[in-house]
């Protein structure tokens, strides 16, 4: 093989971007909050937050904390530090030497601050304190963006369920026509699934803790630092005990209830909530993909994608991309659990490292899928004619279950089977019932329905409408700001999309 004179030496990172979304269309353009630069900004924020926490508990001078904050681009709780992108390539190159990106970052940060404040940077900390806290900060922001998209999806679904509440549709079981339902009830099920997943995700986001426990999880290093500065063992222990909560407050995260270096429930619980949301969105996407098939045609995306070879096609692109995320997300969640189960000693040897890319990719998929879901649902068109055509496709046999329940005691199961057989042979159900000798009289004598009522799918939807109403009575799912400590909204967060007020314009139907 010829030697490439431009090739870089082994082990040095290629300066070209490795992943710009070319092969990840579900998240491309929607995952900026999870970029490497944002993780780096979170790492720097964690380091600055520690200095500020030292000042908060009375150990570091407030002036030193302010100087470090200004020098390293501190922007406040819940945000990464500014103007750190230029360091990224060097930090990436140095990360393999220490097994994580923090070890190469710390000297760079110390070089950026004044000599008289330099010793406060990373003072008493271990790399896992910084990296875990930074990942929780990044996850908090990305999770809130995901939650906002999920809430928009829920609100749009609720509106559609309300509009389609009474539309009779085919319920399918094991791919086959089963009984009548309403289109609204199908959508109301989607509403409930997205709402429940959103509530669980909101809880997981609110619980994301900072990590601050020192090298072996004892906070001994922090006690030593406080002792050296305060000159009192009792005051040092008190300051060190207060430090994790102060650190968490600076970052806008939950205060940890103890070290979690090898107790990875914050990660697995977040991962489980993300998977549950992607599962719920995956069901919607699968239903839309099926119902938009040419031969079914009951729904269509507002802006379907085209084909490079077949100009007649309108592909359900949002649904396809969401399904791609739903296929992958559970396996990433399983990776988080596997890593948690192998988190041994007081610092995991490899399990911790395996967790980082899996968590970020799961956050990326959930953010992309929820964003596409909001777009999909807000533009989803229901073709009323196609829905009705499919209801009529079996010439009335969609109410065959009702025939067995109502007619069986009147004329016997054998005659019911004969009626069904005639309909399968091409007759309409109404005609087959009308041709049955003495049936109308027998129904009347028993106080049963008329033949027309018996054959009407609209008379056999059970509690469908009430179930829709019950599902909608629970919306909206709540204020996404509740997921943030102190109620602070993330950058660019929109208000919660709650229940529409006043009359709503009818949705355009796809014909």
Q: Which of 230, 217, 203, 8 is nearest to 125 (CA)?
A: 217
Could you please report the per-residue DSSP string of 363-406?
Answer: HHHHHHHHHHHHHHHHT-EE-HHHHHHHHTTTTTGGGHHHHHHH
Contact at 8 Å (CB) between 26 and 372? Answer: yes
Query: Please, where are the H alpha helices in 113-182?
Result: 127-163
Return d(Cα 507, Cα 57) in angstroms, integer. Answer: 57
> Can 307 be counted among the known catalytic residues?
yes
Contact at 8 Å (CB) between 137 and 45? Answer: yes
Residues 110, 347, 415, 430: which is the catalytic one?
Answer: 347
Cβ-Cβ contacts under 8 Å for 43 (sequence gap 6 or more) = 101, 102, 105, 130, 131, 134
Residues 62, 232, 293, 307: which is the catalytic one?
Answer: 307
Return d(Cα 256, Cα 470) in angstroms, integer. Answer: 38
Q: Look-up: residue for tokens 């989607």?
A: 190
Q: Which of 264, 230, 414, 281 is nearest to 341 (CA)?
A: 264
Q: Look-up: residue for tokens 């050296």?
A: 228
Cβ-Cβ contacts under 8 Å for 238 (sequence gap 6 or more) = none
Contact at 8 Å (CB) between 462 and 181? Answer: no
Phi, psi (deg, nearest 5) at residue 382: -105, 125
> Can 415 be counted among the known catalytic residues?
no
Q: Per the structure block, which two tokens stand in for 3?
A: 């030697």
3 state DSSP class of 302 = coil
Q: Per the structure block, which two tokens stand in for 381?
A: 């068109």
Give the β-pairing of 299-300 and 381-382. Answer: antiparallel
| C-alpha of 416 from chain center | 48
Backbone region of residue 174 per phi and psi (left: phi > 0; alpha: psi in -120 to 50; beta: other values): left
Contact at 8 Å (CB) between 245 and 286? Answer: no
Give the β-pairing of 168-173 and 381-382. Answer: unpaired
Return d(Cα 494, Cα 150) in angstroms, integer. Answer: 12
Contact at 8 Å (CB) between 455 and 433? Answer: yes
Give the bridge partners for 177, in sequence order: 172
3 state DSSP class of 462 = coil
Residues tagged active-site: 307, 347
């Amino acid at each position: 093989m010829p030697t490439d004179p431009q090739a870089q030496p082994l082990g040095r990172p290629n300066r070209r971007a490795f992943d710009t979304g070319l092969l990840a269309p579900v998240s491309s353009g929607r995952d900026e909050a999870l970029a490497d630069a944002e993780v780096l900004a979170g790492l720097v924020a964690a380091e600055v937050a520690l200095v500020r926490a030292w000042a908060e508990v009375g150990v570091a001078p407030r002036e030193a904390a302010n100087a470090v904050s200004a020098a390293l681009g501190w922007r406040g709780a819940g945000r990464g530090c500014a103007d750190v992108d230029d360091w990224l390539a060097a930090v990436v190159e140095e990360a393999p030497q220490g097994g994580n990106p923090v070890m190469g970052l710390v000297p760079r940060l110390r070089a950026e601050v004044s000599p008289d404040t330099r010793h406060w940077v990373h003072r008493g900390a271990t790399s896992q304190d910084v990296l875990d806290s930074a990942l929780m900060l990044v996850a908090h922001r990305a999770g809130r963006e995901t939650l906002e998209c999920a809430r928009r999806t829920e609100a749009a679904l609720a509106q559609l369920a309300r509009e389609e509440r009474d539309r009779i549709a085919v319920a399918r079981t094991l791919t086959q026509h089963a009984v009548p339902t309403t289109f609204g009830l199908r959508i109301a099920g989607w509403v409930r699934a997205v709402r429940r997943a959103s509530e669980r995700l909101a809880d997981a986001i609110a619980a994301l803790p900072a990590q601050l426990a020192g090298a072996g999880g004892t906070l001994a290093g922090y006690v030593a630092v406080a002792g050296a500065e305060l000159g009192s063992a009792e005051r040092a222990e008190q300051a060190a005990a207060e430090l994790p909560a102060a650190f968490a407050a600076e970052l806008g995260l939950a205060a940890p209830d103890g070290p979690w270096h090898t107790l990875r429930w914050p990660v697995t619980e977040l991962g489980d909530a993300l998977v549950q949301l992607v599962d719920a969105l995956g069901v919607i996407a699968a239903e839309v993909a099926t119902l938009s098939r040419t031969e079914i045609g009951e729904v269509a995306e507002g802006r379907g994608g085209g084909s490079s070879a077949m100009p007649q096609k309108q592909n359900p692109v949002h649904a396809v991309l969401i399904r791609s995320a739903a296929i992958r997300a559970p396996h990433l969640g399983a990776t988080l659990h596997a890593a948690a189960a192998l988190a041994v000693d007081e610092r995991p040897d490899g399990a911790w490292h395996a967790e980082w890319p899996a968590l970020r990719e799961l956050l990326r998929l959930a953010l992309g899928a929820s964003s596409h879901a909001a777009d999909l649902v807000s533009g989803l068109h229901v073709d009323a004619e196609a829905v009705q055509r499919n209801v009529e496709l079996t010439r009335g046999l969609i109410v065959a279950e009702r025939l067995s329940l109502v007619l069986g005691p009147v004329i016997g199961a054998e005659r019911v089977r004969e009626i069904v057989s005639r309909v399968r042979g091409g007759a309409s159900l109404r005609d087959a019932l009308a041709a049955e000798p003495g049936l109308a009289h027998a129904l009347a004598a028993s106080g049963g329905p008329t033949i027309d009522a018996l054959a009407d799918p609209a008379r056999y939807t059970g509690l469908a409408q009430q179930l829709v109403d019950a599902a909608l009575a629970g919306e909206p799912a709540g204020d996404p700001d509740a997921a943030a400590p102190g109620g602070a909204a993330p950058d660019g967060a929109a208000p919660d999309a709650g229940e529409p007020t006043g009359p709503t314009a009818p949705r355009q139907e796809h014909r």
